[in-house]
A and B are shown apart, each in its own frame.
Chain A
Amino acid sequence: MYNQTAATPVSKERAAYLQKQRRKKFRIRAVQVSVVVLLLALWELLANAGVIDSFIMSQPSRMIKTVCNLSENGLLTHLGVTCLETLVGFLLGTVLGVGLAVLLWWSNTLSSICEPFLVVLNALPKIALGPVFIVWVGAGVQAIIVMALAISLIVTVLEMLNGFLATDGEMITMAQTFGANRRQVFTKIVMPSNLHTLFNSMKVNIGLSLVGVIAGEFLVSKAGLGYLIVYGGQVFKLDLVMTSVVILAVVAALLYQSVVIAERALTRKMRHKN
């Protein structure tokens, strides 16, 4: 084991090594921040100088103004609607996807039968089904959630099923030597050894749900960031469009990060049980 306790005296070489690592990390972070700042400054300056047309390109200062006025333009409501739709789509996609994957894992025959259909459904651009969903479930929030679900579901099923099937065979045999039935093999061996698969698929899923929601909002909606982007484009309010896109990027990053945090918390909890 490595010496990691605070009590152990750190050698000179070790201290130098740690210092070097910290510096390297800091340097990378500094460059990342400066790239963003530089680009924003350049954008602002060029727009002020008239090199780029701020009417069609917007500009940072105008975007900040838009954010400050969010109470009048309803940005907050739109943001809330999009987040809610994404979360519902994400949760449905994850729960249904994992459930279906369990069914397919359970029955080899069923998964053999379903395989070609899953492959085709996976390759099919689900956005093409948008109009069909609108007809089926009605134009509104339902259609948007179904869209998010359609985009994330098949990927989840395939990813989880692959994970389940890749579980160490000798581990399963070990459980079977104790007389474990299929359910016990799943709950004691297959599911716990696939927690990382679950979180990986959730990380992909949260992004895909957002894609589905925005695509759905483009097609049919009265609110949401996707609606705002389409509306802003139509009335040439590029400030609104650009601001919405930036907010969308922040939302995507935050949602992804929350999955990462949940994963860390669960891994830690499993290690400290008992």
Chain B
Amino acid sequence: MEEILKVQQIAQTYQAQNGELTALENISFAVKKGEFVSIVGPSGCGKSTLLSIVAGMIRPTCGRVLLQGEAVEGISPRIGYMLQRDNLLEWRSIYQNVLLGLEIQKKLTKENEAYAAGLLKAYDLWDFRDKYPSQLSGGMRQRAALIRTLAVRPEVFLLDEAFSALDYQTRLAVTDDVYRILKQEGKTTLMVTHDISESISMSDRVLVLSRRPAHIARVLDIRFDDPALMPLQRREQRQFQEYFNIIWKELDVHV
């Protein structure tokens, strides 16, 4: 499979009043088309910084990011980025919220609007299009936020702790939901999380980052006997615990 996203020797150093801080050190990896890759690491190791660099929101001190061979310079409409919270705008209906990305990118054509409407229909939000975010459940809100990003048709999806604002039960359900939608739409995904279980349940591959200055400590291919398992089903598999232990040891967490 074609390597759609390449991250080459990324390093990031922060300048602050009281000194210099190296957050990332020589990070290289590639993501194939349709693949789901997770990055896990100890908190504060610079996972989110790495994702912001891939999204083109932060310029790295060294290295570069290639999207289909082209260097990413600045925010690209080919990359979709999802944050911790759904950030739906309370004063807009669900339909208007879903169109926000298209509106900002000035691509609000009849065709694109129909595409967004199609997504709402396909993922059971069409009946709620005239409701306001406060009238929806946490899971539905997250789905609406996902459709808002899908509507601008990005090639690569970046998820930055996208489920951590939800309570545990909702989170498990939303994980299944988002996974199903992303696979159905054939999207390439790079996810940052601190949740080991979440990374194993969703990914084809897990990159484990070390403590600061972060480098890739381990790359773990996740294989289950049945490749069609959903995240919740994966959690019941024998291998799940094994993968968990490997990552847990690698993270070397101390209290």
The stretch of B22-30, B101-109, B175-183, B210-218 in contact with A is: B101-109
Q: Within the assembled complex, what's the spacing in Å between the Cα atoms of A193 and B95?
A: 18
**Listed A/B pairs (30) with beta-carbon separation below 8 Å:** A168-B87, A170-B83, A170-B87, A171-B87, A171-B89, A173-B57, A173-B83, A174-B83, A175-B100, A175-B104, A176-B57, A177-B57, A177-B75, A177-B80, A178-B77, A178-B105, A178-B152, A179-B77, A179-B104, A179-B105, A180-B104, A184-B104, A188-B103, A188-B104, A189-B89, A192-B89, A192-B91, A270-B91, A273-B93, A274-B93
Q: Does B96 contact A (CB under 8 A)?
A: yes
Contacts A178-B77, A179-B76, A179-B77 known; 8 new A-B pairs at CB < 8 A:
A177-B75, A178-B104, A179-B104, A184-B104, A188-B103, A192-B91, A195-B91, A273-B93
B75 contacts which chain A residues (CB < 8 A)?
A: 176-179
B105 contacts which chain A residues (CB < 8 A)?
A: 178-179
Interface residue range, chain A: 20 to 34
Q: Within the assembled complex, what's the spacing in Å between the Cα atoms of A177 and B79?
A: 8
Q: Kindly identify which residue among B84, B96, B100 contacts A178, using a CB–CB cutoff of 8 Å.
A: B100
Q: Does B55 contact A (CB under 8 A)?
A: yes
Q: At the interface, is chain B mostly helix, strand, loop or mixed? A: loop
Q: How far is the CB of B92 from chain A (nearest CB, A)?
A: 8
B57 contacts which chain A residues (CB < 8 A)?
A: 173, 176-177
Chain B interface residues (CB < 8 Å from chain A)? 55, 57, 75-77, 80-81, 83-85, 87, 89, 91, 93, 95-96, 100-101, 103-105, 130, 132, 152
Q: Within the assembled complex, what's the spacing in Å between the Cα atoms of A168 and B165?
A: 15
Q: Across chains A and B, which 3 residue pairs bring their CB atoms closest together, nearest first?
A: A177-B81, A174-B87, A178-B101
Q: Within the assembled complex, what's the spacing in Å between the Cα atoms of A270 and B89?
A: 12
A179 contacts which chain B residues (CB < 8 A)?
A: 75-77, 104-105
Q: At the interface, is chain A mostly helix, strand, loop or mixed? A: helix
Q: How far is the CB of A198 from chain B (nearest CB, A)?
A: 13
Within 8 A of B (CB), among A145-193: 168, 170-171, 173-180, 184, 188-189, 192-193
Chain A interface residues (CB < 8 Å from chain B)? 168, 170-171, 173-180, 184, 188-189, 192-193, 195, 270-271, 273-274
Given contact pairs A170-B83, A170-B84, A192-B89, A274 touches B104 in the complex (Cβ within 8 A)? no
Choose among B55, B83, B96 the residue with the greatest number of A CB atoms under 10 Å from its CB.
B83
Closest residue of chain B to A267 (Cβ to Cβ) is B91
Closest residue of chain A to B152 (Cβ to Cβ) is A178
Q: Kindly identify which residue among A168, A177, A274 contacts B95, using a CB–CB cutoff of 8 Å.
A: A274
B85 contacts which chain A residues (CB < 8 A)?
A: 170
A270 contacts which chain B residues (CB < 8 A)?
A: 91
Q: How far is the CB of B168 from chain A (nearest CB, A)?
A: 21
Q: How far is the CB of B162 from chain A (nearest CB, A)?
A: 12
